[in-house]
Copies of this chain bind each other. A is one copy, B any other.
Amino acid sequence: MIKIGILGVGTVGTSVAKILEKNSDIIEARAGKKIVATKGVVKNISKKRDINIKISNNPLDIIDDPQIDIVVELMGGVKEPYELVKKALKNGKAVVTANKALLAYHRYELQEIAGDLPLFYEASVAGGIPIIGALRNGLSANHIESIVGILNGTCNYMLTKMINEGVSYDEVLKEAQDLGYAEADPTFDVGGFDAAHKLLILASIAYGIDAKPEDILIEGIDSITQTDVEFAKEFGYEIKLLGIAKKRESGVEIRVHPTMVKNSNPISKVDSVMNAVSVVGDCVGETMFYGPGAGGDATASAVIADIIEIARGNRGPMLGYKRGLEGKKLELLNSDDVSSKYYLKLKVVDKPGVLASVTSALSKESISISSILQKDSKVENRVRLLLTTHECQEKDIKRAIKSLKALDSVGDNVSLIRIEE
């Protein structure tokens, strides 16, 4: 029998305990061993819970218990779980975690500390979708060319509503908060940070790159307006918050931002709270993995899959590479060297010659325009100018935007969304 202790018995922890009981027949058959959750640790022990495990508020009741074989960490946060996971590993316990923030910051140290002990984390990215297994095992023969994912269900829910129902950002945020999809302080989701944590984990398995959230380009969806949505529709795009990791000749791009995606691209059809990850490998070509990115039972499905793998005795390098054998290390590209096509949104003064001054400012910075749309609706004697560019580098578009802002007829009224074909 394998005994599980759960640190953090919230929505996911409760699902883990319940499913281990409800599906115990099939889980035993698949694992080859009975698996039982025996202990849970919570902050508030007075809260009533309808699960059948011993509850305490002291993590050491699990971590120092020689009876516990696997510690499941579902606390959230970084500092406290980091200390507890380290301690659990030092006590010789296997660890399963769904904590993407912890891994975004400490995955390589934890790999070092874990050594031959399993530290599994399927649930940390895209909830119930077995994307970690796919990258670590199923696609392991491939040099990965790109990963493009919808990794945050809250943002995808909000963008889908804005696009399909014309709801404003503020309205849909309130709705998402009422439904429990978004927190009272939604920054972690809508700011792109949650998606960035997940993308960094995937990029480690694909490319062996040890980057932190601070090292990569992260933009959230809070600046998306109905103007952008309407332009996107007019030109056959959907707007999605994408996590993108791409191998280029000089290194690997890793970035998270709202993205215009052609509506012929299957990932553009992934709506509401669903997640999807497209992975292109040099042998396999394009694959895509789709499913629920959050929710207690879906996330617990991934946590228990890891527990079963551990029970079967399966190991393998935590981040997909045997340390010391990575070969030629791939480097993280500087954010300024990222290449993309861009959509630019300008509010310009409505007078003759403005269009000419805008296009010539872009042309001087070698930015080539692909399409352009002037919108009639005027506010404060200004008109909307929406345009898309051919592929160029982030540093060039930034310089071009600086030039545009220097024009009297434009000023600060410039923003961009990146385009993925």
Task: Chain B residues near A192: list those with CB within 8 A.
Answer: none
Contact stretch, chosen from A164-172, A315-323, A350-358, A368-376: A315-323
Q: Report whether A287 and B129 are in contact in the complex, using a CB–CB cutoff of 8 Å.
A: yes
Q: Report whether B141 and A130 are in contact in the complex, using a CB–CB cutoff of 8 Å.
A: no
Q: Please, could you name 28 A-B residue pairs with CB atoms under 8 Å apart, sorted by A? A: A19-B141, A19-B283, A26-B143, A26-B327, A27-B140, A27-B141, A28-B327, A30-B140, A30-B322, A32-B325, A128-B281, A128-B283, A130-B287, A137-B305, A137-B314, A139-B305, A140-B305, A141-B304, A141-B305, A142-B301, A269-B269, A284-B298, A285-B297, A285-B298, A286-B292, A287-B289, A314-B314, A314-B315
Closest Cβ of chain B to A270, distance in Å, is 9
Among residues of B, the one whose C-beta sits closest to the C-beta of A279 is B291
* 10 cross-chain pairs, A with B, having the tightest CB-CB distances, nearest first: A130-B138, A141-B304, A287-B291, A128-B284, A32-B322, A284-B301, A283-B301, A25-B327, A288-B290, A29-B325
Task: Chain B residues near A208: list those with CB within 8 A.
Answer: 29
Instruction: Tell me the complex Cα distance, A303–B138, Å.
Output: 9
**B interface footprint on A1-32 (CB within 8 Å = 1, 0 otherwise):** 00000000000000100010001011111111
Task: Chain B residues near A109: list those with CB within 8 A.
Answer: none
Q: Report whether A128 and B29 are in contact in the complex, using a CB–CB cutoff of 8 Å.
A: no
Q: Report whether A292 and B301 are in contact in the complex, using a CB–CB cutoff of 8 Å.
A: no
A92 lies within 8 A of chain B by Cβ: no
Task: Chain B residues near A317: list those with CB within 8 A.
Answer: 30, 32, 312
Task: Chain B residues near A186: list those with CB within 8 A.
Answer: none
Q: For the complex formed by this chain, how many copies does it contain in all? A: 2
**B interface footprint on A362-383 (CB within 8 Å = 1, 0 otherwise):** 0000000000000000000000
Query: Within the complex, which residue of B25, B29, B298, B320 is in contact with A322, where a contact is CB–CB below 8 Å?
Result: B29
Best-surrounded residue of A25, A269, A291, A298 (most CB of chain B within 10 A): A291
Among residues of B, the one whose C-beta sits closest to the C-beta of A286 is B291
Q: Report whether B284 and A287 are in contact in the complex, using a CB–CB cutoff of 8 Å.
A: no
Closest Cβ of chain B to A84, distance in Å, is 24
Task: Chain B residues near A32: list those with CB within 8 A.
Answer: 317, 322, 325
Tell me whether A309 and B137 are in contact in the complex, defined as CB-CB below 8 angstroms, given that A284-B128, A284-B297, A322-B32 are known contacts.
yes
